[in-house]
Amino acid sequence: MLGSKDVERKICEMLDMGDEQLMAEMEESFLLSEEHHQRIRETLEEMVQEVDVLLLRMDEMEEESLNDEEKESNAR
- Mean pLDDT score, 2-30: 91
Which one-letter amino acid corresponds to residue 24?
Answer: A
Residues 6+ positions from 25 with CB-CB distance below 8 Å: 14, 17
Tell the burial category of 4 from Cβ atoms under 10 Å away from its Cβ (0-12, 13-18, 19+). exposed
What span, in angstroms and rounded, lies between the C-alpha atoms of 19 and 15?
A: 10
Task: Identify the domain containing residue 50 by its residue range.
Answer: 4-75
pLDDT digits (tens, 9 = 90+) for 19-76: 999 999 999 999 999 999 999 999 999 999 999 999 999 999 999 998 888 888 887 6
Domain count along the chain: 1
